[in-house]
Structure 1
Amino acid sequence: MRAVRAVDETELVDALAAGEVFDCAQDGSRRPVPASLVRQICRSGGAGIDPHGFRLRNAAIVGDLDLAGIELAVPLRFEACAFDSPLICEGASLHALAVTDCPAVPGLLGNGLRVRRDLDLSGSVVTGAHRTVASTSRRSAVWLCEADIGGRLLCLDTRITADGERAVQADRLHVGGNVRLLHAFTAVGEVRLIGVTIDGSLDLTGARILNPDGLALDLADATIGGSFFLIDDADGPPTIQGRIDLNSARVAGQLLIRDAVLREPPGAPVGGPYAKQRSDGTAVSAPRLTVGADVSVEGACDIEGGIDLSMSQMSSLSVTGTARLNAPRRTALNLTNAQVDSTLRIGDGVQVLGTVDLTATRIRGDLTLRGAVLSGADGGRPLLAANGAKVEGSVQLRGLRATGGSVNFFGADIGSFVEAAGAELTNPGNLTLSLHQASVRGSVRLIDGFRSTGHVNLTRAIVDGRLDCRDGEFIESSGSSYDRFGHAISASSAAFRGGMYLAWRAVDGSVDFTSTSTTVLADDPRTWPGRYSIAGLSYDRFGAAGGEPGADAWDSGLRRAWLRGQADYDAGPYEQAARVFRQHGYARQAEQILIDQRADARRSGPDRSVRRTLVDAVYGFTVGYGFRPGRVLWALVALLVAVVVSLQLGPLATSLRATDARGNVYAVDGRLVTVDAVSPSAPGQAPGAGGSTAGGSTADGAAVASTQRPAPDGCGAGQVRCFNPYFYALDTVIPLISLDQRSTWYPDPHAPSGRTAEWWLDLATLAGWLLSSVVVLSFARLARTL
C-alpha cells in the first residue's frame, strides 16, 4: 500500500484557482493538509481563488487551523475532512463557511465570527470542551457568541458531543435566515442560545438534545422572527432530555411541538445563579414568552415535567392529540397571569397529570377542555386552578374526566356559559367543581350525564343565565375537612337570574341553597335528597323539572312536603312559597302552606308548656292558625241552628217569659199574667172597696193575678217585643248584634224546663262570644299576613 502523500501548496493553489473541489482521498485514506497552508491561502483574502471558493474534500487537516481575524471573500468549505485540532475562526469575516460530513471536528471556536452567507455544519461530528473569554465557568464544543450569520445556520444530521459540558454556546448570536437543527441532529450537552436573534425560523425537526442534568436548550431572551418548530420526522420524534428555557423569548410566528419527547432533569429545580429557583416549568420554562401566532402541542407528545408559560402572551394555545403532560403533585401547565388572545384548548384524549394553573389568566376566546383527562394533583391542589381568571368566551368542560382534585374557578369572570355535559369529576370528600364568587354571563350546565363525586361549590356565584342540572348526578355522602356537612351542592347566597332547573338524576348527600335567589324554580320536589337547606331561597315562580309546562310544578301537596323536608325548620321558605302561589292565583294553596308553616313551627320549636301547645293545637284545628276563619263561621252557624231548633221544637220556648212596664207577664203564646190598674180608695174605706173585680194590688203594692183570661197576643198589643226564634238565636249567639230579643225574653226557672233553658242559653252566649272573638282575631291576623 502506498504511503499517503501530503498535499503540497502548488497543487492546492492550482485546484482552487481552477474553481475545482480539491479531493484529498487516496486509497481510501485522507491526504494530510497542513493547517498552516490553509491559513496562508486564506490570509490572501481569496486572491487567486475562483469565486466558487475554497473547497476541500476528504482532507486530514493537520495542526491548529487558526483563522481568527481573517477576512475571506469567497466561500470556505470542508467536506468529509478530519481535523485533529479545533477550528478557530473567532472574529473572522467569511463569505460562507461549510464544515459538512466531517467525521472529526474537535471543536469550533467562532465567537464574533461574521459570515455573510450560510454556516453549515451538516453531517459533521463535533467534539471537545473548550474555554473562551465568553464564559468564566463553562466549556463548550461549539462557540458562536456574538457571531453574525447573514444566511442560515444549518446542522442537518450533525452530532455534537461536549464531554459533559455545553454542546453549543452562542449567546447573542444573530442569524439572518433560518436555524435548522434537523433530522438526526444530536447534541450531548446544553445548547445555549441566550439572547439570539433569528430573523427566520428555528426548526428542530427530529432533533435530539441530551443534557439530563439540567438545561438542554436555552433560548432565554431570544427573538425569532419566524416560527419555532419542535416536530417529528420520518426517523422518529424529537427528544429533549433536560429543560427547555424560553424565558422572555419572542416568537413572531407559531410555536409548534408535535410528537415530541421532553424529559425534565430529575430532581433539578428551575433557576440558576441569577434566578430564583422553583419547581414549576421543569420541562419547558417559558415565563414572559411572547408568541405572535399559535402555541400548539400536538400528536403523541410525551412531556415529563411541567410547562411554565406564566405571564406569557400568545394568539392561542392548544394541546391536542394523545399528548401527555406528566408532573404529578406539581404544576403540569402554568399560565398564571398569561394572556391568550383567542382560544385555550386541551383536547379530547389529552392526559394531564398535575395542575393546570390559570390563575388570573386572561383568555379572549373560549376555554375548552372537552374530553381531557386530568389527574395526579397533590392533596389539596386543584387539577384546574382558574382563580381570578377572565374568560371572555365560554368554558367548555364536556366529557372532562378529573380525578383526585378540583376544577376551580374561584372569583373567575366568564363572558359566556359554562358547560360540563357528560363530565365526570371525582374527588370524594373534597371539592370537585367550584364557581365560588364567580361571575358567569351565560348559564351553568351540569347536564347529560354530568357526575360529581365530591362537592360542587357555587357559593356567591352570579349567573346571568340558568343553573341547569338536568340528568346530572351529585354524590357526596359524608362530610370532610372541606365540608363537614356533606353537601353535594352548595349554592348559598348565589344568584341565578335565568332560573334553576334541577331535574337531576340523583343526589346522594345534601344540597345547600341558603339565601340563593333566582327567577324560576323548576324542579321535582320528590327528587330532592334527604337533607337540604333552603332558608332564604327566593324565586318568582315554579316551573316543571324538565323545562316543559306541567301540572306538578304547582302541586301544592308536593311543595308542602318539600317544605317540611328541609334540614332545619325555617319560616322563610314557607312564606316565600306562599307568596309565589298567591301571586299566581293559588290563594287557597298559599294559605294551606302558611298553615303548615305554623304547625311545623309548633312541632319544631323549643320545649314549651303543655298549655301553650294545647292552645296552639286548638287554634290550628279550629281556624287553621287564622287562615281558615270559615271553620268558626260554620261553628257559629251550627250553634245558631241548634238554638233555633231548641226554641222551636223543644219545651224550652214554653219557659220563656217577658214582662211589660205594668207588670203583665207574657209567654211566647200570649199574656200569662195580667195586672189591672188599682183604683184609689175613699177615706175610711178598705183597700179594694172601690169595687174592682179584674185584679189589683195588695196594701203593700204587690201585684195580684187578674181573674180575667189572658189574651192570646204574645206581643201584648205592642207592650213587649214579639218573640222570634231566629232573631232570638242571633241575639243570643252573636255578641256584636243586639235585637232586644234576649233582653226581653228570659227563661223562667220555675217553669218546666226553665232551669235547663237558662243554662243552655247562657252556654250558647259564652260559646258565641268565644267563636266570634276567634273569627275577628283571625281576620285581623290574615289581613296583616296579606
Structure 2
Amino acid sequence: MNAPTDGASWGSERTVRAEVIAKLLLGARETEAGTVPAVRLRGARITGPLVLRAGNVGFELVLSGCHLDEPVDFNSGVTRTIRLTDCSMPGFNGGGMRVSGHLSLSGSSIHGTVRLARAQFDSGLWMGGTKVVADDEWALYTASLVVDSGTFLRNADFTGGVRLVGARLNGGLFLDGATLRNPGKVALNGESMVVEDVLSCTEGFTSQGCVRLRGARINGTFSMEGVIRSEDTKYALHCSHMEAREVYLKPAEPIAGAVSFAHAHVNTLHDDPSTWPDKLHLNGLTYDRLRGSGFARRIEWVARDPFGFLPQPYEQLAAWYMRDGNDALARRTQLAKLRARRRSQSVGGRALGGFLDVTVGYGYRPWLASIWFALLLAAGTAAFTAVPPRALKPAESPGFDAFAYSFDLLLPIPAFGQRDLFDPGGWTQWLAYALIVSGWLLATALIAGATRVLRPS
C-alpha cells in the first residue's frame, strides 16, 4: 500500500476541486474524434465531495496516489472503469452503481465504509492490498452484489466486517493473505452468496471474527488454509446448508471456536481432523468423497457434536466407507455409533448394550460369541472330567463324554443326547445351570445382534 499519509497538507499547486472532475466525467468538455478520453490524475489533493450520484459517465476515471478530502459518491451511477489506486479517502459509496469495466481500490487507504449494495461490475472488483478502517460494523458492505469477473481482495486489511450477503461472484472470490478484524462479531458474512470457480482463503488469510457462509453455494473449490479465531461468537466457521463441489479445509492452526457444517453438502471434502475444534456440528452434512485421515480419527471427528450423540454423522461416514468398498470400516463405524448411543441411554439400556457389545459386538462381531462358547466349553469339559456326573440309568447310559456333555448344556437343543442321561451333583450342578443359562444368553445375543444389524437404523 502506497497511499499518501500527508495529503491533507498538500498546497494549492497539487489541489484539484472535485466538482471539476465530476463535470469532466459528465461531459463538460467535448472530446476529440479518434481518442479514448479519460480523467487521469496522479499525486493530487482533491477537495470537496466527488459526487456523481445517478450520473451517466462515459469515460474512465483513474486516480493514483491521490488524497481525497471527502467520500466518493457514485451511488446509482452508470460508469466505465474506475481506478482509485494507492489513494487516501474517507469512504466510498457505490450503492447501485453499474460499471462497464471494473472498480479498483487496490493499495488505497480508506477511513470509512466501502458501500457497494446492489452494485454490478462487468469485469471485476479489485481491492488488492486495500486498507479499510470502518466507521461502523462493516468495512465492506454489499447486498446482492454482482461481479461478472473476479473479486480480488488479496492482502487487503479490513478493520470491520466484510459483508457479501447474496452476492453473485462469477469469477471467484480471492481473499489470499487478507486480514479481517471484527472480534466478537462477523468478520466475513457470505450468507447465501454464489461463487463460481473458487473461494480462496490461503497464503496467510486471517479472520478475527466469525466466517459465516451459511447457505452459500460454491460451484468450485472452497479452500481454507488460513487462520480463524473467534471463540467469543457462536461459531468461528459457520457453513451450515452450504453447497460446494470441493472443500479443502486445512487451516494453518486449529480453528479457535465452534464450527458448523450442519446440513451442508460437499462433493469432495479434503480435511485434517486434527485442525477441527472440540465443538463441531456435523449433523446433516453429506459428502460424496472424503479425503483426509485414518479410521480412528474419523470416528473421533464425528463424535464432537456439543449436543451429544447424533446418529447421522456416523451413518454418513459408514455410507462413504461402503461406497468406497471398505465394508469392514463401514461395520466398525456402525459399531462405534451403537457404542456412542449407549453412553446416552438409561442404566438398563447401557447394561443391555454392554452385554450385546461384549458378547457379539452388537451383531457386527459375531465371532465373539464363538470365543465365549469355546471358553465355556473348555471350562465345562475340564470340570466334568474331574468330577463326572452320575448316570440316571447306569445300565442303559452310554459312556460319559465331558466334552459332549458340556456341549449339550450350552446348546438350547441338545446335539449328543448326553444332557438328559447324566445328573451332576454338588457344585458341578450349579456349573451345569450356569452353562445352560450362558448358552441361552449367547443364542439370544446372536439373534438380537443379527436383528439389529439387519434392521434399518
TM-score bin, normalised by smaller chain: 0.7 to 0.9
**Residue 237 of structure 2 corresponds to residue 284 of structure 1:** yes
Equivalent residue letter for 1:42: L
Q: Which residue pairs with 1:300 in the alignment?
A: 252
Deviations 1:255-303 (A, max 9, x none): 1111x1101251x34xxxxxxxxxxxx0121221111x21111252431
Deviations 1:348-392 (A, max 9, x none): 6xxxxxxxxxxxxxxxxxxx5558876996999359973654733
Aligned mates of 1:229, 1:59 — CA distance in 2? 35
Q: Which of 53, 66, 79 is matched with 2:38 structurally?
A: 53
Q: Which of 27, 31, 35 is matched with 2:18 structurally?
A: 35
Aligned mates of 1:87, 1:243 — CA distance in 2? 29
**Residue 198 of structure 2 corresponds to residue 230 of structure 1:** no
Equivalent residue letter for 1:38: I
Q: CA deviation at 1:209?
A: 0.7
**Residue 196 of structure 2 corresponds to residue 221 of structure 1:** no
SS of corresponding position for 1:304: coil
Is the Cα contact below 8 Å between 2:384 and 2:428 reproduced in 1?
A: no
Aligned mates of 2:65, 2:371 — CA distance in 1? 80
Q: Which of 240, 245, 253 is matched with 2:212 structurally?
A: 245
Equivalent residue letter for 2:23: Q
Q: CA deviation at 1:220?
A: 1.0
Aligned mates of 1:575, 1:46 — CA distance in 2? 111
**Residue 169 of structure 2 corresponds to residue 198 of structure 1:** yes
Aligned mates of 2:42, 2:329 — CA distance in 1? 66
Q: CA deviation at 1:112?
A: 0.8
Q: Which of 82, 100, 109 is matched with 1:97 structurally?
A: 82
Equivalent residue letter for 1:490: D
Q: Which residue pairs with 1:490 in the alignment?
A: 357
Q: Which residue pairs with 1:472 in the alignment?
A: none
Aligned mates of 1:376, 1:297 — CA distance in 2? 18
Aligned mates of 1:99, 1:597 — CA distance in 2? 101
SS of corresponding position for 1:36: helix
Is the Cα contact below 8 Å between 2:250 and 2:275 reproduced in 1?
A: no
Q: CA deviation at 1:488?
A: 8.4
Aligned mates of 1:182, 1:305 — CA distance in 2? 24
Is the Cα contact below 8 Å between 1:57 and 1:78 reproduced in 2?
A: yes
**Residue 270 of structure 2 corresponds to residue 318 of structure 1:** yes
**Alignment of structure 1 residues 264-413 onto 2, 5 Å:** 264=230, 266=232, 268-269=233-234, 282-291=235-244, 293-298=245-250, 300-320=252-272, 324-327=275-278, 331-332=279-280, 334-343=281-290, 345-347=291-293, 368=295, 370=297, 381=308, 386=313, 389=316, 391-394=318-321
Aligned mates of 1:489, 1:94 — CA distance in 2? 73
Q: CA deviation at 1:557?
A: 4.0
Q: CA deviation at 1:339?
A: 2.1
Q: Which of 256, 259, 262 is matched with 2:223 structurally?
A: 256
**Residue 58 of structure 2 corresponds to residue 73 of structure 1:** yes
Equivalent residue letter for 2:230: E
Aligned mates of 1:238, 1:562 — CA distance in 2? 71
SS of corresponding position for 1:224: strand
Is the Cα contact below 8 Å between 1:127 and 1:162 reproduced in 2?
A: yes
Equivalent residue letter for 2:180: I
Aligned mates of 1:576, 1:205 — CA distance in 2? 72
Aligned mates of 2:167, 2:289 — CA distance in 1? 28
Aligned mates of 2:307, 2:162 — CA distance in 1? 38
**Residue 153 of structure 2 corresponds to residue 157 of structure 1:** no
Aligned residues: 401
| Ranges in structure 2 where 5+ consecutive residues have no aligned partner | 1-6, 386-405, 434-457
**Residue 147 of structure 2 corresponds to residue 147 of structure 1:** no
Q: CA deviation at 1:34?
A: 0.4
SS of corresponding position for 1:394: helix
SS of corresponding position for 1:115: strand
Deviations 1:125-145 (A, max 9, x none): 1112xxxxxxxxxxxx11101
SS of corresponding position for 1:177: coil
| Ranges in structure 1 where 5+ consecutive residues have no aligned partner | 1-23, 129-140, 270-281, 349-367, 397-413, 424-431, 437-454, 460-479, 503-512, 514-520, 527-533, 535-555, 565-572, 607-786
Q: Which residue pairs with 1:733 in the alignment?
A: none
Equivalent residue letter for 1:119: L
SS of corresponding position for 1:227: strand
The alignment's TM-score, normalised by the length of structure 1, stands at 0.45
Is the Cα contact below 8 Å between 2:335 and 2:362 reproduced in 1?
A: no
Q: CA deviation at 1:174?
A: 0.3
Aligned mates of 2:172, 2:384 — CA distance in 1? 68
Q: CA deviation at 1:341?
A: 2.0
Change (3 A) 1:486 1:251: closer
SS of corresponding position for 1:305: coil
Is the Cα contact below 8 Å between 1:167 and 1:191 reproduced in 2?
A: yes
Q: Which residue pairs with 1:63 in the alignment?
A: 48
Is the Cα contact below 8 Å between 1:247 and 1:287 reproduced in 2?
A: yes
Aligned mates of 1:562, 1:217 — CA distance in 2? 73
Is the Cα contact below 8 Å between 2:61 and 2:81 reproduced in 1?
A: yes
Q: CA deviation at 1:98?
A: 0.9
Deviations 1:80-130 (A, max 9, x none): 11111000001111110111111x2100000011111111111001112xx
Aligned mates of 1:100, 1:170 — CA distance in 2? 20
Is the Cα contact below 8 Å between 1:248 and 1:287 reproduced in 2?
A: yes
Is the Cα contact below 8 Å between 1:212 and 1:265 reproduced in 2?
A: no
Equivalent residue letter for 1:226: D
Q: Which residue pairs with 2:454 in the alignment?
A: none
- Higher relative contact order (CA closer than 8 Å, sequence separation 6+): 2
Q: CA deviation at 1:162?
A: 0.4
Q: CA deviation at 1:318?
A: 2.2
Q: CA deviation at 1:435?
A: 4.0
Q: CA deviation at 1:43?
A: 1.0
Change (3 A) 1:115 1:30: farther
Deviations 1:711-742 (A, max 9, x none): xxxxxxxxxxxxxxxxxxxxxxxxxxxxxxxx
**Alignment of structure 1 residues 426-437 onto 2, 5 Å:** 434-436=336-338
Is the Cα contact below 8 Å between 1:45 and 1:72 reproduced in 2?
A: no
Q: CA deviation at 1:201?
A: 0.6
Q: What is the RMSD computed on CA atoms of the aligned residues?
A: 4.4
SS of corresponding position for 2:23: helix
Aligned mates of 2:141, 2:158 — CA distance in 1? 12
Equivalent residue letter for 2:104: D
Change (3 A) 1:323 1:105: farther
Q: CA deviation at 1:56?
A: 1.1
Q: CA deviation at 1:27?
A: 9.8
Is the Cα contact below 8 Å between 2:97 and 2:120 reproduced in 1?
A: yes
Change (3 A) 1:379 1:186: closer
**Alignment of structure 1 residues 107-122 onto 2, 5 Å:** 107-122=91-106
Q: CA deviation at 1:492?
A: 6.5
Q: CA deviation at 1:326?
A: 2.5
Equivalent residue letter for 2:430: R
Is the Cα contact below 8 Å between 2:25 and 2:58 reproduced in 1?
A: no
**Residue 329 of structure 2 corresponds to residue 418 of structure 1:** yes
